[in-house]
C-alpha cells in the first residue's frame, strides 16, 4: 500500500506548531508497516540545494497554467517531496506575518492542493492523508477528477478553517456549484476546511475527546451541524510524539542526559537552566509554559492569576511567540518580578532545555485538540498541569493508576487553576511521591506506535 502524507509543515524543514511534529512522528511510526512518503511546500526560507530535483509538471488554476517543480529527500527510510510553485514558494513566511495572513493564501494553498493531487498520480498513490485546511482542497480535486484514491483528512485544530471571500471561487477556478451549505459555503465565505470534511472518505481528529467536543456548539467553531451530518466517518485518534527526538536519555539539545533511573541529572539540568537565566535559586519549584501566545492556550487565565502565582515561592518561565500585546505584557511583567522570565519567540533547543529543567508544565488551554506539550513534559519527567479538555483529558490523569500522571482541573477558572498550583506545590514537597510519578511517566509509551495501528485500519478500510 502506498500512502502520501500531505502537510503544510514538517519538522525539521518548517515548523510553526504541533502539526510539523505530527508530520514528523506519524509517518515515522508507520514506515515499517506501509510504503509512506510525505509532501510539503518548498518555502523560500528553505535551502533548495539540500534537496534533489525529482520531477516537474504544470497545473491549471482558473485560466492560468502554473509550472511546478518537485524536489525530494530520503531520510530515515522516508522520502519527503517538496513542492516549488509560484506564490506558494516566494513568500518570506509560511502563512503570513505576525500581524496578518497573506492575502493570496487561497491561491497559494489551492496550488499546493492541486500539486499534491498531481503528485499522487505520478507516484501511483492509493491513500492520500491530508492535514488541515491548507491541503483540504485536494480532497475535492480527487473527487472532481474521479481518481481511485482513498482520502483521509485530519483536523488538527478546528479553529483554523481557511476562510476567504466568495470571489476566491473564481480566483482558484472552482465551479460555483460548490458554494452551498453542504460544500464550501460558510456564512457567505469560502471555507477550505469544509472541502476536507465533505469530500474525504474518513475524517479524523487528534484525540477521541476532541472528536466528541467538536460536535457541540461550544467547541464546533460554527461547524458543529456540518460535522454532525458527517459524523459517521469521524474518528478521534490520540496523537503521539517522536520518542527518538524527544528522549531525555539521548537528547543532544540538553546539557545532561538522564532517564527514569538517574533523575538526579534532571536536577542538574535545572541548575544549568537557572544559571543561564535571570531566575535565581534552583531549589525553588520551576513552573514553565511552552506555547503559542494565543487565547486558546489559556493566556488570559495566566494573566488573571499571575500575581498570585509569582507570589508563591516558585520560579516561572514562559517560552512563546504570537500576539504582540500579550508578548509586551509578559515582557513588562518580567521586568517587575525577579522570579519570572519570558523568552519572546520560539527556540527548539531552548524548548528541550526547558522541559528537561522543569518541575511542572502549565497547559491551561481553553480547548486543546490534542496537545503535544503534556506528552513531551512527561517524557522528560516534568509534571503537566492541565485543563481537562480535548486531548489533555485523554492523556493526563490525577488518579495515579493510569499512564500519564499529572494535575488536572475541571473548570477554566482562576480559583481552580490556583488550587491546581497548590496541589503541585504540595507534591513538590513530597519528594518520594514526586519521584514515583516521574518514574512512572517516563516508563510510559507516548509514541505514535499505538495510534499508528488505528490509522492503518483507516487506510485499509477496516473501520
Query: In this model, does residue 463 exceed pLDDT 70?
Result: no
Structural domains of the chain, ranges and CATH numbers in brackets: 2-241+449-459 (3.40.50.2000), 264-442 (3.40.50.2000)
Q: Tell the residue number behind the cell numbers 485530519, with chain if given.
A: 154
Nearest to 109 by CA among 186, 224, 190, 185: 190
**213 CB-near residues (< 8 Å, 6+ apart):** 219, 367, 389, 390
Q: In this structure, what C-alpha cell is assigned to residue 291?
A: 506555547
SS3 4: strand
Q: State whether residue 361 is helix, strand or coil.
A: strand
**Of 171-175, 342-346, 359-363, 401-405, which gets the smallest average pLDDT?**
401-405
What's the CA gap between 389 and 211, in Å, rounded? 11
Residue 367 dihedral angles phi and psi, to the nearest 5°: -140, 155
Residue 456 has pLDDT above 60, yes or no: yes
> Is residue 97 left, alpha or beta, with left meaning phi > 0 and alpha meaning psi from -120 to 50?
beta
Q: What percent of the chain has pLDDT over 70?
A: 100
Q: Please give the pLDDT value at position 97.
A: 84
* Cβ contacts of 239 within 8 Å, gap of 6 or more: 18, 22, 25, 26, 206, 207, 370, 371, 372, 375, 391, 448, 451
Would residue 217 be called left, alpha or beta, if left means φ above 0 and alpha means ψ between -120 and 50 degrees? alpha
Residue 91 has pLDDT above 80, yes or no: yes
Task: Please report where in the chains the cell 481557511 appears, as a residue.
Answer: 162
Each residue's pLDDT tens digit, 208-226: 999 999 999 999 999 999 9
| Cell representation of residue 328 | 509586551
- Evaluate if residue 322 carries a pLDDT over 90: no
pLDDT of residue 462: 59
Residue 292 reports pLDDT greater than 80: yes
Q: Which residue has the higher pLDDT, 252 or 400?
A: 252
Average pLDDT of the residues of the chain: 96
The runs of H, that is alpha helices, within 182-336 are 192-199, 208-213, 224-229, 264-275, 299-310, 324-336
Q: Judge whether 89 and 22 are in contact, CB under 8 Å.
A: no
How many angstroms separate the CA atoms of 375 and 395, rounded? 8
pLDDT at 98: 75
**Average pLDDT value for residue range 274-297:** 96
pLDDT of residue 285: 98
Which helix or strand (DSSP H or E) is residue 235 part of? strand 234-236
pLDDT at site 355 = 98
Model confidence pLDDT, tens digit, residues 119-133: 999 999 999 999 999
pLDDT tens column, 407-438: 999 999 999 999 999 999 999 999 999 999 99
Q: What is the pTM of this model?
A: 0.95
75: which 3 cell numbers?
531520510
Q: Looking at residue 442, what is its pLDDT? A: 97
Question: If you write DSSP's letter for every residue of 152-185 in order, what string do you get?
Answer: EEEES-TT---EE-TTHHHHTT--GGG-STTTTE
CA distance 396 to 387: 9
The rounded distance, in Å, linking the Cα atoms of 419 and 351 is: 26
**Pairs from 177-184 (Cβ < 8 Å, separation ≥ 24):** 178/140, 181/226, 182/229, 184/140
Amino acid at each position: 500500500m502506498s500512502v502520501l502524507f500531505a502537510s503544510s509543515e514538517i519538522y525539521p524543514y518548517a515548523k510553526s506548531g504541533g502539526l510539523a511534529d505530527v508530520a514528523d512522528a506519524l509517518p515515522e511510526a508507520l514506515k515499517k508497516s506501509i510504503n509512506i512518503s510525505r509532501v510539503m511546500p518548498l518555502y523560500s526560507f528553505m535551502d533548495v540545494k539540500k534537496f534533489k530535483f525529482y520531477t516537474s509538471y504544470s497545473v491549471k488554476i482558473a485560466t492560468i497554467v502554473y509550472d511546478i517543480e518537485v524536489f525530494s529527500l530520503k531520510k530515515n527510510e522516508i522520502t519527503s517531496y517538496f513542492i516549488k510553485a509560484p506564490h506558494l514558494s516566494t513568500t518570506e513566511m509560511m502563512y503570513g506575518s505576525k500581524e496578518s495572513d497573506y492575502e493570496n493564501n487561497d491561491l497559494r494553498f489551492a496550488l499546493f492542493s492541486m500539486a499534491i493531487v498531481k503528485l499522487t498520480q505520478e507516484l501511483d498513490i492509493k491513500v492520500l492523508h491530508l492535514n488541515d485546511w491548507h491541503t483540504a482542497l485536494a480532497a475535492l480535486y480527487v473527487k472532481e477528477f474521479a481518481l481511485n484514491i482513498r482520502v483521509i483528512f485530519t483536523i488538527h485544530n478546528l479553529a483554523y478553517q481557511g476562510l476567504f471571500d466568495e470571489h476566491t471561487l473564481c480566483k482558484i477556478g472552482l465551479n460555483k456549484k460548490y458554494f452551498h451549505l453542504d460544500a464550501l459555503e460558510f456564512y457567505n465565505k469560502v471555507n477550505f476546511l469544509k472541502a476536507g470534511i465533505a469530500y474525504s472518505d474518513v475524517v479524523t481528529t487528534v484525540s477521541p475527546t476532541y472528536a466528541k467536543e467538536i460536535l457541540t456548539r461550544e467547541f464546533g467553531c460554527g461547524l458543529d451541524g456540518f460535522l454532525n451530518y458527517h459524523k459517521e466517518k469521524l474518528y478521534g485518534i490520540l496523537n503521539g510524539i517522536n520518542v527518538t527526538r524527544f528522549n531525555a536519555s539521548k537528547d543532544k539539545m540538553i546539557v545532561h542526559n538522564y532517564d527514569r533511573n538517574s533523575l538526579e541529572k534532571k536536577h542538574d539540568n535545572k541548575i544549568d537552566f537557572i544559571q543561564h537565566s535571570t531566575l535565581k535559586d534552583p531549589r525553588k519549584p520551576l513552573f514553565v509554559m511552552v506555547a503559542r501566545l494565543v487565547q486558546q492556550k489559556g493566556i488570559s487565565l495566566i494573566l488573571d492569576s499571575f500575581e498570585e502565582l509569582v507570589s508563591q515561592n516558585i520560579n516561572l518561565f514562559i517560552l512563546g511567540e504570537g500576539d504582540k500585546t500579550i508578548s509586551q505584557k509578559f515582557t513588562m511583567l518580567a521586568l517587575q518580578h525577579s522570579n519570572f522570565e519570558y523568552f519572546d519567540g520560539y527556540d527548539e533547543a531552548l524548548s528541550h532545555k526547558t522541559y528537561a529543567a522543569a518541575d511542572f508544565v502549565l497547559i491551561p488551554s481553553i480547548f486543546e485538540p490534542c496537545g503535544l506539550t503534556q506528552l513531551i513534559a512527561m517524557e522528560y519527567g516534568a509534571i503537566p498541569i492541565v485543563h481537562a479538555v480535548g486531548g489533555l483529558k485523554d492523556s493526563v490523569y490525577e488518579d495515579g493508576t493510569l499512564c500519564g500522571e499529572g494535575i488536572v482541573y475541571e473548570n477554566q477558572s482562576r480559583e481552580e487553576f490556583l488550587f491546581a498550583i497548590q496541589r503541585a506545590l504540595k507534591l513538590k514537597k513530597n519528594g518520594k511521591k514526586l519521584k514515583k510519578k516521574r518514574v512512572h511517566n517516563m516508563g510510559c509509551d507516548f509514541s505514535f506506535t499505538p495510534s499508528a495501528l488505528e490509522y492503518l485500519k483507516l487506510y485499509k478500510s477496516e473501520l
